[in-house]
């Protein structure tokens, strides 16, 4: 990487470059980009709506489904009204049966007529049960169709919501890949954003230095600004690699002759001066 200037040049334990948590924001919908309100270097808040993709066709499909829901609801049978006539016939026959039964008991009625009425009531009740069963199935089928349409509407609502481009994290726009008026597709990158408030110095240490470094350890980080100016930052070790690797080209460690090194990441709160890719030094 680089040698620090000034009296600190012989004191550092490792060097590296600052990096940030970068996110490539892609479109979740296909269509024409109607709006994309950001430029490279803009700072965006998490959750902010920064653009949208044309969702008119999805809206038309949703309205078509909603019309289908209304049609299903209209087509549902009114069970109470459709069985009312049969229930009235049964009630009339039962009343006639009671009257005839009293006549038979008084020996003023015909037993065969009473038997006919009883048989008629039994037949009407079977017809009522069959009619109820048929109506219940028709009603249940309509409910199932309506439920399917509701889920389709919910799916379209989700697709319409995804036409709105929302920024996933608070940070700075690094690269903008698309502009309003272009046609995009699901998964196509729109812009890259990074959290520049908290940067990470990725440095490399030798096996001899492993005993000096552990997660959560506070360390001193330095970065050069210009020829003579150097700033000190407080850093925290957030990760130590559990496997060695060959020394990356250009990286300096305390023991420059070491062939195998271990990567470490050190979190540093950015005061606005640190930049992604800038070199830094660390003292454990």
Instruction: Give the pair of three-digit tokens for residue 240.
Output: 């130590």
Q: Are 36 and 50 in contact (CB under 8 A)?
A: yes
| 3-class secondary-structure state, position 82 | helix
The predicted structure's pLDDT at residue 116: 86
Q: pLDDT per residue over 90-112, tens digit each?
A: 899 889 888 888 888 888 878 88
Residue labelled with tokens 């048989």: 119
Which of 2-6, 14-18, 183-187, 277-281 is predicted with the least confidence, judged by mean pLDDT? 2-6
> What is the mean predicted confidence (pLDDT) over 259-279?
92
Residues β-bridged to residue 219? 235
55 within 8 A of 90, measured Cβ to Cβ? no
- Residue 3: CB partners within 8 Å, gap ≥ 6? 9, 15, 252
In this predicted structure, what is the pLDDT of residue 45?
Answer: 95
Model confidence band, residue 11 (pLDDT cutoffs 50, 70, 90) = confident
pLDDT band at 2 (very low <50, low <70, confident <90, very high): very low
Question: Tens digits of per-residue pLDDT, 203-258?
Answer: 999 988 998 899 999 999 999 887 778 899 999 999 999 888 877 766 665 555 45
Residues composing the chain? 284
**What mean pLDDT is predicted for residues 264-268?**
97
| Cα–Cα dist 219/236, whole Å | 6
DSSP 248: P
Q: Is the pLDDT of residue 17 over 90?
A: yes
Q: Angle at which helices 111-161 and 56-75 pack, to 10 degrees?
A: 170
Task: Give 143-166 pLDDT, tens digit per residue.
Answer: 999 999 999 999 999 999 999 999
Gyration radius (Cα) of the chain, Å? 39
Give mean pLDDT, residues 127-148: 89
pLDDT tens-digit profile of 172-199? 999 999 999 999 999 999 999 999 999 9
258: helix, strand or coil = coil
Map tokens 């959560």 to a residue.
216
Tell me which residue of 274, 38, 17 sits closest to 172, measured CA to CA.
Answer: 38
Tokens of 87: 């229930």
> Which pLDDT value is given to residue 249?
63
Of the candidates 184, 236, 201, 194, the one whose C-alpha atom is nearest the C-alpha of residue 42 is: 194
By three-state DSSP, how is residue 263 classified? strand
Cα–Cα distance, 174 to 23 (Å, whole number): 10
Instruction: Give the pLDDT of residue 27.
Output: 96
- For residue 10, the model assigns a pLDDT of 53
- Mean pLDDT over each residue of the chain, to the nearest integer: 89
Q: In this prediction, what percent of the chain has a pLDDT beyond 70?
A: 93
| Residue 147 to residue 134: CA distance in whole angstroms | 20
CA–CA separation, 270 and 258 (whole Å): 31
User: β-strands 43-44, 218-225: how paired?
Assistant: unpaired
Token duo for residue 282: 């660390």
Helix (H) or strand (E) holding 62: helix 56-75
Alpha carbons 39 and 62: distance in angstroms, whole number:
33
Residue 186 main-chain phi, psi, to 5 deg: -60, 130
pLDDT (tens digit per residue) in 48-67: 999 999 999 999 999 999 99
Percent with pLDDT over 90 in the chain: 58
pTM for this prediction: 0.71
Give the number of other CB atoms < 10 A from CB of residue 46.
Answer: 12
What was the pLDDT predicted at 3? Answer: 40
């Amino acid at each position: 990487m680089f040698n620090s200037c000034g009296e600190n040049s012989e004191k550092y334990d490792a060097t590296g470059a600052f990096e940030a948590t970068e996110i490539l924001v892609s479109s979740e919908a296909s269509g024409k980009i109607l709006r994309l309100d950001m430029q490279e270097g803009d700072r965006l808040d998490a959750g902010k709506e920064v653009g949208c993709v044309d969702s008119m066709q999805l809206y038309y499909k949703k309205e078509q489904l909603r019309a289908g829901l209304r049609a299903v609801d209209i087509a549902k049978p009114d069970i109470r009204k459709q069985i009312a006539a049969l229930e009235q016939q049964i009630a009339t026959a039962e009343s006639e049966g009671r009257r005839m039964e009293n006549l038979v008991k008084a020996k003023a009625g015909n037993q065969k007529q009473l038997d006919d009425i009883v048989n008629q009531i039994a037949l009407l009740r079977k017809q009522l049960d069959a009619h109820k069963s048929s109506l219940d199935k028709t009603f249940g089928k309509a409910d199932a169709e309506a439920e399917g349409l509701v889920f389709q509407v919910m799916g379209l609502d989700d697709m319409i919501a995804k036409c709105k481009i929302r920024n996933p994290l608070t940070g700075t726009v690094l690269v903008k890949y698309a502009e309003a008026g272009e046609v995009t597709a699901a998964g196509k990158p729109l812009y890259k954003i990074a959290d520049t408030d908290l940067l990470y110095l990725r440095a490399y240490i030798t096996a001899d230095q492993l005993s000096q470094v552990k997660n959560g350890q506070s360390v001193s980080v330095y970065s050069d600004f210009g020829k003579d100016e150097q700033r000190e930052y407080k850093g925290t070790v957030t990760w130590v690699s559990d496997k060695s690797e060959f020394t990356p080209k250009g990286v300096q460690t305390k023991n420059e002759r070491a062939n195998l090194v271990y990567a470490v990441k050190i979190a540093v709160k950015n005061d606005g001066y640190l930049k992604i890719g800038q070199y830094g030094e660390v003292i454990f």
